[in-house]
Copies of this chain bind each other. A is one copy, B any other.
Amino acid sequence: MTNQPKNLQVGKNVVIHADVWIGDNVKIGDNTVIYSGTEIGNDIEIGANCVLGIIPGSNQRMRKASTNIDPLRIGEGTKIGHLVSIYSGTTLESYNFIGDHASIRENVKVGKETVIGRAALVELNTTIGDRCKIQTLVYVTGDTTIEDDVFIGPCVSMSNDKYMGAKNYSMKGPHIRTEAKIGNNASILPNVTIREKAIVGAGAVVTKDIEKGVTVTGVPAKPLKEGDGD
Contacts and interface: CB of A to CB of B under 8 A. Distances in A.
B61 A51 contact: no
Contacts of A207: 202
Contact of A153 (B82, B115, B153, B159): B159
A96 B15 contact: no
Contact of A121 (B119, B184, B220): B119
A115 B157 contact: no
Interface in A99-114: 100-101, 103, 113-114
B154 A139 contact: yes
Interface in A24-73: 29-31, 33, 45, 47-49, 51, 54, 57-62
B166 A181 contact: yes
Counting chain B CB atoms within 10 Å of each CB, the highest count among A45, A54, A59, A183 belongs to: A59
A115 B185 contact: no
Given A15-B11, A47-B51, A183-B164, A103 B100 contact: yes
How many identical subunits does the complex contain?
3
Contact of A151 (B45, B49, B79, B165): B165
A106 to B, nearest CB: 12
A96 B126 CA distance: 25
B139 A155 contact: yes
Interface string A139-169: 1010000000001011101110000111000
A216 interface: no
A51 B54 contact: no
B95 A60 contact: yes
Contacts of A81: 57, 85
Interface of A: 11-13, 15, 29-31, 33, 45, 47-49, 51, 54, 57-62, 79, 81-83, 85, 95-97, 100-101, 103, 113-115, 118-119, 121, 123, 131, 133, 136-137, 139, 141, 151, 153-155, 157-159, 164-166, 181, 183-185, 187, 189, 199, 201-205, 207, 217-220
**4 A-B pairs closest in CB distance:** A203-B205, A155-B157, A59-B97, A185-B187
